[in-house]
Chains A and B, each alone.
Chain A
Amino acid sequence: MDHGLHWGQSPIDLAEEAPGEVKFLAALTEDAMPDRDCGALERMAAWEDSGIHTGLGWAAKALLASSLALLLLNAHALNNWAEQLPVTPLSEPVVNAISAWHQTAEDIGLNAVVDKVEQAAKAMRKAIWP
């Protein structure tokens, strides 16, 4: 019976991060597991022991920072989403606030990156063979 996906079969597997030899869990960890009848449980312990740097904090901070940057610099996407919302007493103030933010972002030039890329893409689409 196969237990889990072999290391290297997923595109996110980096060779140097292979969990290595399966190790048995420490008694404390073993107690915390809901079901012992599954071989791959041991892999976590192998990872934690091997000194591979955890990426959760790094990924969470990267996702948060990029989401904030997009909120700031991509008011177009927010506005497009708001325009598709059904008009209800609940959605109306949200749509108005987003529309106002879209206009403010436009005025202070925060949409410039997207606008410039859009213009460049339009020009490239129109290019013809010499």
Chain B
Amino acid sequence: MLFPTLAFHVFFALVFCCNWMMRRAGDWRLIMLLVASWIFYGWFDARFVALLQASALLNWGAGRLILGQPERARGWMIAGLIANLLILGFFKYYGFFVQQVNDALLAPMGMVRIRALDVILPVGVSFFTFQGISYVVDVAKGRSAPARLLELALLMSFFPHLVAGPIVRPAHILPQLRERPWLSQGAAATSLVLILWGLVKKTVIANELAVQLVDPVFNDAAHHSAADLVWASYGYAIQIYCDFSAYSDMAIGFAGLLGFRFPANFNQPYRAASLQDFWRRWHISLSFWLRDYLYIGLLGGSRQSLIRTCAALFLTMLLGGLWHGASWNFLIWGAIHGAMLVLERLWAQFRPAGLPKAPLWLGRLYTFHVVTLAWVFFRIKDYGDAIGFLRRIWRGQDGAMIFSPWTAAMIAIGLACQFGPHDGVQQLGRWLRGQSFWAAAGLVAVVLLVVEGLRGAGVAPFIYFQF
């Protein structure tokens, strides 16, 4: 069930009514939200609802064992982590691993190849597995209160964030599950603004860029001019931002209308003046997760020698790339980010004292182009094709030009979002809060009608659904 569809509109209207009618019903409200979340997830593929339930049970059990046997807490935590990673590994990396073993080891030695199973990737498996890991680690480290099975199942399955985040922390959400929901007019208005703005970003900007520019150029790079390839690369940078941040905005908005507060997941990432700054603004919930559980928690963070810190940084980004999927190109994407982050750290350490500081605009230009270059490897699945794509740009290839004023306008709007006021959504929320419900309803209806007219045929799934 995609957010910008009629089916979801009806689904959400029912859940909204039930949620607020049951606001004094304690656990019954949570049960209703849990069942609704399973229906939402089952809409994609009903078989995987059992996986979601099993994953919640597993993490709840690990939490109980950690607290019940404090002397073996570390062992149970590691066991919980391994179990989560096995689930993720099987569904996400088994096919890739088998192919690599077959190609690199068995085929050259003339041995019988391992038969690859046709494993279907459950939607959002990376997101709910990471949430499970968060719970196990946070309980073991005393950062989160233990949850009841119902609470943990809902924390992991709650439909607004289930398939594409934000990755919410147990310590942020568990207390909210235990308090009676409350909705201020400001929170309701700001949630509506987030939903509408997310809808525009996804169904208009991201969809138009995908259909009119990015997909045709990336799928047939040989017949397009170098200028088209460059514009398509910029277009993809905007498309993936508008697509993914739209999902996060809508998720936060829908959760907000149900009385839950989710953390921010994007903060105008393309105005970042360094890669380090970029990762504080892009997919914030994942980058903070990687920072807390991997970079600091497992690899030691920055309180060690410079060499080890740089290695930890690089490895974190490499694994962050691998989190997106089993492909060499995701590893290359992670490696580009990791290498540039390491270079930035070394530069900060060894920069000659008398050298003037680079202007802000130059930092932003550099960051945007490094990120856009890395997106080329993210977008093109095959390494050779990605290198070929960059070569065609380098050689100044002649060919067709489909970059149009319409797609230019979409890129311009996408970029303008980065440089508007950082609290634009809250300002609009404050304005909408002061309006009558008739005016709010009118605004919602007009935006949805305009979106319906602009979005053409259908809505493509969100890019991050595949992760």
Contact = CB atoms under 8 A, between A and B. Distances in A.
Interface of A: 1-5, 9-17, 32-35, 37-41, 43-44, 47-48, 52-67, 69-70, 73-74, 76-78, 80-81, 113-118, 120-121, 124-125, 127-129
Given A10-B264, A12-B256, A62-B441, A55 B453 contact: no
A34 B264 CA distance: 29
B406 A127 contact: yes
B445 A66 contact: yes
Interface string B148-178: 0000000000000000000000011111101
A2 B139 CA distance: 12
B449 A52 contact: no
**A60, A66, A67, A121: which has the most chain B beta carbons within 10 Å?**
A66
A2 to B, nearest CB: 4
B327 interface: no
Interface string B26-53: 1100000000000000000000000000
Nearest to A3: B175
Given A58-B437, A65-B441, A128-B405, A11 B449 contact: no
A71 B189 CA distance: 22
A38 B184 contact: no
A64 B20 CA distance: 14
Given A1-B144, A59-B188, A34 B27 contact: yes
B interface majority secondary structure = helix
Contact of A59 (B5, B182, B183, B409): B183
Contacts of A52: 184-186
Contact of A77 (B180, B249, B405, B452): B452
B366 to A, nearest CB: 28
A12 B444 contact: no
B337 to A, nearest CB: 25
Contacts of B184: 14, 17, 47, 52-55
A4 to B, nearest CB: 4
- Which 6 pairs of residues, A with B, have the shortest CB-CB distance? A117-B453, A55-B185, A40-B175, A65-B441, A55-B188, A59-B188
Given A10-B264, A58-B440, A114-B449, A125 B429 contact: no
Given A12-B256, A70-B448, A117-B452, A37 B145 contact: yes
Interface stretch (B107-115, B190-198, B298-306, B328-336): B190-198
Interface string B255-289: 01100011110000000000000000000000000
Contact of B264 (A9, A125, A127): A9
Interface of B: 5-7, 9, 13, 16-17, 20, 24, 26-27, 142-145, 171-176, 178-180, 182-192, 194, 208, 212, 249, 252-253, 256-257, 261-264, 404-406, 409, 425-426, 429-430, 433, 437-438, 440-442, 444-445, 448-450, 452-454, 456
A5 B452 contact: no
A125 B212 contact: yes
Contacts of A116: 453
Given A55-B189, A56-B183, 15 more contacts: A5-B173, A9-B263, A10-B262, A12-B187, A16-B186, A34-B27, A38-B178, A41-B175, A52-B185, A59-B183, A60-B16, A61-B441, A69-B442, A69-B445, A127-B406
A128 to B, nearest CB: 7
